[in-house]
Amino acid sequence: MTQPQPIPDTQWSRWEVFKQDAPNRPWQAVGSVHAGDPDHALLTARNVFARRPSAVSLWTVRESDILTATPEELETRPEVQDTPGEAGTYHLGLKRTHKRSMTFVDLVGTLEASGPGDALRQAREAHPDALTWLVFPESGVVRTDDDPGTVESWFAPAKDKTYKQQQYYGVIGKHVGELKREGKMPGRVNEEPHVGDHKVYDHPHDKAPKVQR
Amino acid sequence: MTLSGQPSAVSSQQGTLTPQLQAVLIRKLTALADDEIILAHRGGEWTGHAPILEEDIALANIAQDELGHATLYLDLRRALDGSDADQLAFFRNAGEFTNVRLVELPKGDWAFTMLRQFLFDAYEALWLDAARGSTYAPLAEVAAKAVREERFHLQHTALWVERLALGTEESRRRTQNALDELWPHVAQLFAPVPGEAELVAAGIVPDLGEVRARWEGFVVPHLTGKCGLLLPLTLADAAEGRDVHTEHLAPLLAEMQGVARQHANAEVW
């Protein structure tokens, strides 16, 4: 019997994407992309995360340059704070709430550290209540430049576009809204999944209490 | 996807055109829109099939942008003759479409797709850049709006062509094959529609010769210098007009128009 060969990892690197919605707003982690190199990562990030909602700046950071930890992780593995790496300026991100579904971490500033572990230790001291700390070196950031040409072709088009729900796009004939106003729509057209009278899932933004069993 | 937009404010401009210029402008706007519609369909064929999820999203975005540009052109046309964009897109036959043959070729592999999109994006970005100076204000406005997206498309596809050409032996071979196949078709991008010289003389549309010079100044160094590809020594394919198509357009339209034609009177679906 032959031993199974290990399957080589052919995935491109993962890059975390940070988006700034408007000047003077924090960069926020919005998700990740896979890409072969920094330029590709940035272009892909724009396609995936900044085509509709408005943005003014995008950063991508290679996932392997990012060190994260939760309070629980630091308790069980305190040696994370000894993670070695280059000394210099580190960006600090914090996850402070579970409530938001689209953005996970806000970047809150920079600090000088002797390495990523040290940056994490400082982050914990300065923000003891965070749910997660995230640090990465300034040298790892790939940014969109802020020259007018980039801003105009990467971010300006999105400002003219309103985000529309799927049902907006009637293909031929009248838009659903028009038919509704004319009283031609039988019943609801966009019912949420339900069983009997109960929704089958709860949305984190819902105010209503869960159904009692 | 509907191409009908909101009534635009351009109708006040049509009084400034002679009937002759108006007829040629309608022909030109339709040709511009047809290129975008057909290319968008080919791009859309990758949805769910692109090499990685991120590129699936990216190409779908690009295809949607191209369809948006078609909408812009057809809105300009409607202001001139009251035509309906959906009727034009979904109820004309292959013989009535006036797209260039470059955009109707089957989608091929990823190298073919990225290279075709690169060649077209460069043409479109430079044409739009020049069209921002149109004496026909509605077209100048549309060009100023669309050129922004097109510059980004061009960055994306130029990056992909470079990486495929300089990637592995196989990706290089595929990219060169794509160039060999596509290159004979590019000349048609710069062939005017009948009567276009009058539009150029009136400053309504850019001179395609000048656009081509800028296009070659950008595309050729990228392909040969940066990417190390060999330009094929092929003759131009512009002699036949935009009413002559390959055998690939009719099946594409059958797919694209199928639902609309089966449910021509549908009010909602």
pLDDT tens string B194-246: 999 999 999 999 999 999 999 999 999 999 999 999 999 876 667 789 999 99
- Decide: residue A151, CB within 10 A, 0-12 exposed, 13-18 middle, 19+ buried: middle
* Sequence-distant (≥ 6) Cβ neighbours of residue B243 within 8 angstroms: B95, B98
Please give the Cα distance from B113 to B51 (Å, whole number): 12
The mean pLDDT of B19-23, rounded to a whole number, is: 96
B233-252 residues touching A, CB cutoff 8 A: none
Contact A184 B267 (CB under 8 A): yes
User: Tokens representing A145?
Assistant: 């430049």
pLDDT range class, residue B30, cuts 50, 70, 90? very high
Of the given ranges (A8-22, B67-81, B118-132), which has the lowest mean pLDDT?
A8-22
Residue B168 at interface with chain A, using a CB cutoff of 8 Å: no
**Beta strand residue intervals within B99-223, DSSP E:** none
Residue B107 has pLDDT above 80, yes or no: yes
Asked if the model's pLDDT at residue A213 lies above 50, the reply is: no
Closest to A27 (Cα-Cα) out of A150, A159, A184, A144 = A144
pLDDT at A189 over 50: no
Per-residue confidence (pLDDT) for residue A42, from 0 to 100: 95
Q: What is the pLDDT of residue A10?
A: 80
Determine contact, residues A55/A19, Cβ cutoff 8 Å. yes
pLDDT score recorded for residue A171: 56
Q: Assign 3-state DSSP to chain A and report helix, strand, coil percentages, each to 5.
A: 30, 25, 45
Q: What is the structure's pLDDT at A209?
A: 46
Residue A193 has pLDDT above 70, yes or no: no
Q: Output the pLDDT for position B191.
A: 96
**Interchain proximity A172–B269, CB inside 8 Å:** yes
ipTM of the complex: 0.84
Q: What is the mean pLDDT of chain A?
A: 81
pLDDT band, very low/low/confident/very high, at A100 (cuts 50, 70, 90):
low
Residues of B in contact with A152 (CB under 8 A): 148, 151
In angstroms, the Cα distances linking B168 to A181, B34, B95, B172, B179 are 58, 35, 41, 6, 16
**Three-state SS string across A6-59, please?**
CCCCCCCEEEEEEEECCCCCCEEEEEEEEECCHHHHHHHHHHHHCCCCCCCEEE
Share of chain A above pLDDT 70, in %: 76
For residue A159, give both structure tokens: 């400002």
Identify the pLDDT of residue B239. Answer: 79
More confident residue, A4 or B241: B241
Spatial separation of the C-alpha atoms in residues B138 and B140, rounded to whole Å: 5
Class of residue A166 by CB neighbours under 10 A (exposed 0-12, middle 13-18, buried 19+): exposed
Residue A11 to chain B, least CA–CA distance (Å): 10
Contact A172 B58 (CB under 8 A): no
Give the per-residue pLDDT at A4. 76
Please count the other Cβ atoms lying within 10 Å of the Cβ belonging to residue A1: 3
Q: pLDDT tens digits, residue range A110-153?
A: 999 999 999 999 999 999 999 999 999 999 999 988 778 777 88
Question: How many C-beta atoms surround the C-beta of residue B62 within 10 A?
Answer: 25
Name the residue among B173, B29, B184, B159 with its Cα closest to residue B99: B29
B69: closest CA of chain A, how far (Å):
12
Q: What is the mean pLDDT of residues B153-177?
A: 97
- CA distance linking residue B185 with residue B249, whole number of Å: 15
pLDDT value at residue A6: 80
Of the spans A40-49, A154-163, B169-178, which averages the highest pLDDT?
A: B169-178
Where do we find the tokens 């749910």?
A131
Higher pLDDT among residues B22 and B240, named by residue: B22
pLDDT band at B247, cuts 50/70/90? very high
Q: Which residues, in sequence order, are bridge partners of residue A15?
A: A33, A62
Sign of CA dihedral B75, B77, B79, B81: negative
**B55 contacts in A (CB within 8 Å)?**
44
Dist. CA B142–CA B170, nearest whole Å: 40
**Nearest by Cα to B156 from B69, B43, B252:** B43
Inter-chain CB proximity B151 and A33 less than 8 Å? no
Asked whether the beta carbons of residue B58 and residue A47 sit closer than 8 angstroms, the reply is: yes
Of the two residues A166 and A8, the one the predictor is more confident about is A8
B131: CB partners within 8 A, 6+ apart: B139, B140, B142, B143, B205, B206
The answer to whether B44 and B63 are in contact (CB under 8 A) is yes
